[in-house]
Amino acid sequence: METHLLRTFVTVARLGSFSAAAEELGYTQSAVSQQIAALEHDLGVVLLARRPVAPTAAGERLLEHAGPLLLRVQAARADVTRAIRPHGPVRLALTPLALPQLTPQPAATQPAAFQAATQPAAFQFVVPRGVAISVHVTDAEHAARLVASAEADLALVDGIAAPTDPLPAPATAPLHAQGVAEHPLVIALPAAHPLAGRPALDLADLVDALWIDAPQICGPLSRLRAASGLDGFRTGLHYTGCDTRTLLTLIAAGHGLAILPAGAAQHPHAVQGVPLAGPRLVHRVELLHGGHLPPGPAATLAEHLASALA
């Protein structure tokens, strides 16, 4: 089963059109049809119904394997070429709350130079030891995919876990994950909330409350349920952005609660962070990379981050 045939099949199935797949892949429609026919001949099954274009039962089964297979091929290619990439800015993928204390060093140590990039969630600056980095803010799954495909050199991801427990392994090619920090958690709620004055709160007392599902910042509520072993946590509002100020504004407006690392609940709006009493959970930060890091800027930054966050 050749990789390029599998990639063509995935594209046709995703777009539901041979012509659209041909346009996206840069092939003729005839070439796409021939590739699908070759793949079906190789496997001995029909993978796509033609009118309308849709995966057959066999095609659905192949799609379950195709994504991980193609990503592993891409990761293997990336791993081979990663060591010889010309030195330049280290590409760091970052979840919104993985590095809340990242600040430029004083001018006497290292001058900081900020430069706006094409995407609002990316920027460049200089950090200690003369390592220039380019930061892309995204969710944990996408950050892991960027590292696996060599579109990022490192990733810092965060999530909720029991103390010393690792975060769930990303559904990508195998990556090296190093725990670098654990922080206490708080329940972020409006300052006028009846529970805002408590010295601490137990999640078991809040399972029937409305919560904001902000997967790119706090992780999905399903992860909170899994980590806590509790059901409930009804969704009052979905927020798909990466801006923590917006999340806190939504909390202040009464749209729901959220669980955050203690330092992230500070905001000029009326939000109160009440320490989490139970169950025993922490905000965990992990550093991801593709394996052995050769000497160079990426290894230097990885060492710096691990020591700075420990």
pLDDT by 10s per residue, the chain, length 310: 788 888 899 999 999 999 999 999 899 999 999 999 999 999 999 999 988 999 999 989 898 888 777 777 766 666 666 555 555 688 899 998 887 544 333 333 333 333 322 233 333 334 655 677 888 888 888 898 888 877 888 999 999 999 989 988 776 667 888 898 898 999 999 988 999 889 999 999 898 899 999 998 888 898 888 888 888 899 999 998 888 889 999 999 999 999 999 878 766 558 889 999 989 999 999 999 887 777 788 888 888 777 767 6
Determine the Cα–Cα distance for residues 8 and 23; give it in Å rounded to an integer. Answer: 11
What's residue 82's pLDDT? 53
Burial status of residue 179 (CB atoms within 10 A of its CB: 0-12, 13-18, 19 or more): middle
Cis peptide before 294 (omega within 30 of 0): no
Side by side, the strands of the sheet bearing 258-261 are: 201-202, 271-278, 185-190, 258-261
In the block, residue with structure tokens 């709350």: 97
Residue 240 backbone phi and psi in degrees, to 5: -105, 5
Encode 102-135: b = buried (16+ Cβ within 10 Å), e = exposed: beeeeeeebeeeeeeeeeeebeebbbeeebbbbb
The Cβ of residue 37 has, within 10 Å, a number of other Cβ atoms equal to 13
Give CA 33 to chain center in angstroms. Answer: 35
What's residue 2's pLDDT? 83
The answer to whether 35 and 5 are in contact (CB under 8 A) is: yes
Residue 294 backbone phi and psi in degrees, to 5: -65, 155
H helices of the chain, in order, are: 3-15, 18-25, 29-43, 57-82, 140-148, 221-228, 244-252, 297-309
SS3 187: strand
* Domains of the chain by start residue, with CATH: 3-82 (1.10.10.10), 183-283 (3.40.190.10)
What's residue 125's pLDDT? 39
Q: For the whole model, what pTM was predicted?
A: 0.68
Work out the end-to-end distance of the chain between its first and last CA atoms, rounded to an integer number of angstroms: 46
Ordered DSSP codes for 18-79 = HHHHHHHHT--HHHHHHHHHHHHHHHTS--EEETTEEE-HHHHHHHHHHHHHHHHHHHHHHH
